Structure 1
Amino acid sequence: MHPGESSKRAAPPALSSGGSIDALPDGVLEHIVGFVPAPEAVQTCVLARRWRYLWRSAPGLRVGWLGDGPGLHLGWPGDEEQASPPVKEHRELVDRLLLLRGGSPLDTCDIRLGEFQDDDVPRVNFWVWHAISCKVRQFMLSIHWHSYLKLDDLPLVSQHLTRLELRGVWVDSSFLDFSSCPALEYLDLLHCDLSTVKNISSYSLKHLSITQSRFPDDFDQFMFTGVLETRNRTCIYAPNLVSLRLDGLENLTPRLVSMPSLVEASVRITDDCGDYCVMLSEPDITDCLCELCDSSRGGTGYSCVLFQSLSKAKSLLLTCNTSDTLPQILFKWDLRWCPVFSMLKTLVLNEYWCVPDDANLLLRILEHSPVLEELTLELFSEGPNYEVEMKGSINQMDRSAKISEYLNIVKIKCQIVDESVLNVLEPLRTFGICFGF
């Protein structure tokens, strides 16, 4: 009980058409204060005697930069680095605020800061674990700086955490073992260092997004031994996952393990990916170590990385850079295992799948999608704003028996219909798919 308070809170006067905010119940006012950045939330204590301690019980704690968006939620504003204050500017405020709040339960904790010093790392870790101890349901931590802030390698234990969003941090396997977080459903990792993570596991997780983050690679092992005998991939085990996004990952793409509940997934492979074959760009190299191409000497790389776990999805987006310098071969490798996408109805691909002299790549994924209804090809352009969108027609007389009988929508999206696009469209005619122009 705070000084000056009676054992029972007086009921606020009933709201009238001309009533003020003071007429609202304390619980409603605490909820409102929870949406206000921490410094302003504390300042509400001077409004009136009744407001003096409301901020201490507010269910929301928001520190640092706050934009107009709803948080990470699969995408941050692009220039937050300019607006994120250094950790040192909030040290005293947050330390004192947490001390005065005590163990009051938190619904949301959103911390977004920039530059940090070495002695800030244990302080920020204390803030994280304090929020967890306050039964926080939604926790967001964003560090906008040129280096990653290291989080303690301790397992999260929370019966209440439902959403976890991290940016600009370095975490290890123990932190990403969510076996003691039975309520966790949303995990969003952006610009994180996961290079020492062996496993990410959760039985409760339903929505996972990992973008522009660093995973393990084999470079150090190769430099030490001269031989690549293993693939040091992170394994992701989330059997109840419903949606998945992997975008712009660095080094080895993580291996997906058993996702029978998956409904939609998006995988975008860029030049940062470590699953490329040097032999395809350097003809003079005769001894390949990628473990994925035809010339590989093998190792533990011989198993499906993505497609086996994606095979139950109803909607897939699979795109890959077509760089000649670092030819990516992960999708080609996974297709060797010929998984059947038995529930796939919507498929989005890019020009990687439509190389004229390798049209069997597109054919192979189509013939393993027996119930596919809609195919979209996004060609030679970064979406989502395309200048040209064409809809093809399927000639039933010429329709290939190898593609889904349910396929009735084929779309092409591009910036301009040039020779490159026309070369892609030509193989589609062999499937009975035509475009009139």
Structure 2
Amino acid sequence: MVNTRSMSLRNEGNMEGTLAIGEDRISALDDELLQHVMSFLLSRDAGQTCVLARRWSTLWKSVRALRIKDDLATDSYKFVDELLRLRDPAPLNVCDIFDAYEDSDTEDPLAFCEEESNRIAPWLRYALLHQVRVLRVTAPVFPTDLVLVSSHLKRIELCLMQFEETLDLSSCQVLDVLEMTDCNIYESIFCQSLRHLNMKGGCFDNEIRYRISAPNLVSLQLAPESGLTPLLDSMPSLVTASVESSEEESHHCFTLPSCDEGCTREETFSVVLEGLSAATNLELTSDDLISVFRMDLKWSPVFSKLKTLLLNEWCVAGDFTGLVYFLQHSPILETLTLQFDIQTHKKQRVNGTDERYTPKKQSLLSKHFKIVKIVCGTMKDDARVYRALNMLCAHGVPLEKIDIQ
């Protein structure tokens, strides 16, 4: 008869013996692999591994990531200063600085912002000097005396910042991605190497229309909460673009950064569409029926590569002037989506046809055309849907190629 109690005790003894031998599979890994794993930790946590064993005492010094997530209103910034002082001069793959500003309680927020800007600046300089490739910063301000110059910097992600000086990244010769979330931008952006630009939330200036010059962009997303849509320079390599214009009709009178004569009502250049004319996939949405897109049509840009297009309410102004224009000037267009926002908060209506923008030529529908999607939710009896159907049919779109959703 088997004595289960003695077997259980014997098994427990074997386990304890194995543990006593101290087989450490983690320490069997080489240093580079351990440091790679540690690079996903906050720098504070990575530094604390030094107490594990003698071998771990210096591993943290060569971790190729700097991840700081501290409330700078406390004395925790002193830890970061000491960390950088003791760290080996190994190159950095990532610098990730998160400032919990919204959790801070201060009676003088402006003074606090200036103080933390001064604290962050040397950390960013350290990262740039150590050839950082990915830079992520979440903070209410960006050190104005810091110039982003790095021959290795490939990706920048910025959040909650305010820029009041030109963001000239032309010295970042390999910068590939720039993401800005809830950043207020009151200056122009210049970067030759940039291929992907994503700006969500935040504000542009309401009186001065600034400029984005990034001729090698492949993808672009602009979705500000307010302000003048920036002037877009030519982007011949552009594939995908999504631009949301939040400016209102009253803002179409504007000043250029170099203009000292005040603003003029008649723009002398294309603001957006000419710069986007090389796109293959394009989304143009606006809260304003008299949008900057519609104003750009008079410059007659041709969208020779455009295959998929999404437009919203602005294209209904002037008897679907914007929609008709794209049907005429997109020779290989395949898919068209029209979004009618039933919940729109703007009630402007444009009656009649604006002769200045009315196409004079007969519509030439793309031979590659496949489908029109009209997105209107449950309001399929909306008068705009019937008007859109009549207009599309009049310009050669068969009913079987129209899908009402």
TM superposition score category, shorter chain reference: 0.7 to 0.9
Identify the match of residue 42 of structure 2 among 19, 37, 47.
37
**Is 1:22 aligned to 2:27, yes or no?**
yes
Correspondence for 1:127 among 123, 127, 136:
123
Name which of 167, 173, 185 aligns with 2:176.
Answer: 185
Of the three residues 277, 280, 295, the one matched with 2:250 is: 277
Task: Please tell me whether the aligned partners of residues 88 and 120 of structure 1 are also in contact (alpha carbons under 8 angstroms).
Answer: no
Q: Which has the higher helix share?
A: 2
TM-score if structure 2 supplies the norm length? 0.78
Match status 1:103 vs 2:89: yes
- Aligned ranges for residues 145-224 of structure 1 at < 5 Å? 148-174=140-166, 176-195=167-186, 197=187, 199-218=188-207
TM-score by length of 1: 0.72
From 68, 78, 102, give the equivalent of 1:92.
78
- CA change 1:345–1:331 in 2 (3 A) is same
Residue among 217, 221, 228 paired with 1:245: 221
Residues 1:258 and 1:101: Cα distance change in structure 2 (over 3 Å): same
Structure 1 contact 371–405 (Cα < 8 Å) conserved: yes
> Counterpart amino acid of 1:184?
L
Deviations 1:9-42 (A, max 9, x none): xxxxxxxxx9712111101111110101122111
Q: Return the alpha-carbon distance in structure 2 between the equivalents of residues 32 and 100 of structure 1.
A: 20
State how far apart, in whole Å, the 2-side matches of 1:290 and 1:110 are.
37
Q: Which amino acid aligns with 2:135?
A: F
Say which SS state the counterpart of residue 239 (structure 1) adopts. Answer: coil
- Correspondence for 2:66 among 61, 69, 90: 61
Which residue of structure 2 lines up, in the alignment, with residue 410 of structure 1? 372
Alignment: residue pair count = 345
The answer as to whether partners of 1:151 and 1:169 remain within 8 angstroms in 2 is no
SS in 1 for 2:76: helix
Partners of 1:403 and 1:311 lie apart in 2 by 18
Counterparts of 1:271-350 in structure 2 under 5 Å? 273=247, 276-277=249-250, 289=253, 298=264, 301-322=267-288, 328-350=290-312
- How much does 1:412 deviate? 2.4
**Displacement after TM superposition at 1:378 (Å):** 2.5
Instruction: Report the Cα distance in structure 1 between the residues aligned to 2:365 and 2:125, rounded to whole angstroms.
Output: 53
Partner in structure 2 of residue 264 of structure 1: 240
SS at match of 2:168: coil
Q: Does the 8 A contact of 1:243 with 1:264 survive in 2?
A: yes
Deviates more, 1:123-132 or 1:93-102: 93-102
The 1:354/1:89 distance shift into structure 2, 3 A limit, reads farther
Q: Distance in 2 between matches of 1:298 and 1:247?
A: 26
Structure 2: how far apart are the matches of 1:19 and 1:172?
A: 54
Return the alpha-carbon distance in structure 1 between the equivalents of residues 266 and 47 of structure 2.
56
Whether the aligned pair in 2 keeps the contact of 1:277 and 1:329 (CA below 8 Å) is: no
User: How much does 1:213 deviate?
Assistant: 2.6
Matched residue SS, 1:149: coil
Matched-pair contact (CA < 8 Å) for 2:125–2:146: no
Deviation at 1:379, TM superposition (A): 2.4
Partner of 1:142: 138
Identity %: 37
Is the partner of 1:251 in helix, strand or coil?
A: coil
1:277–1:328 CA contact under 8 A, matched in 2: no
The Cα offsets for residues 114-170 of structure 1, whole Å up to 9 and x where unpaired, read as: 226232220012221111111110000012xxxx31422443221110001111112
Letter in 1 for 2:197: L
Residue segments in structure 2 that go unaligned for 5+ positions in a row:
1-22, 105-111, 256-262, 344-361
Question: Partners in 2 of 1:235 and 1:436 — Cα distance?
Answer: 38
Give the partner amino acid of 2:367. Answer: E
In 1, Cα distance between the equivalents of 2:290 and 2:189?
A: 24
Q: Residues 239 and 260 of structure 1 are in contact (CA less than 8 Å); yes or no, is this contact kept in structure 2?
A: yes
Distance 1:101 1:20, change over 3 A: same
**Which structure's CA Rg is the greater one?**
2
Residue of structure 2 in register with 1:374 after alignment:
335
Separation of aligned partners in 1, 2:403 and 2:220: 35
Deviation at 1:93, TM superposition (A): 2.2
What secondary structure, in the 3-state scheme, does the structure 2 residue paired with 1:277 have?
helix
Is the contact between residue 183 and residue 201 of structure 2 (CA under 8 Å) also seen in structure 1? Answer: yes
Assess, with a 3 A threshold, how the Cα gap between structure 1 residues 46 and 250 changes in structure 2: closer, same or farther.
Answer: same
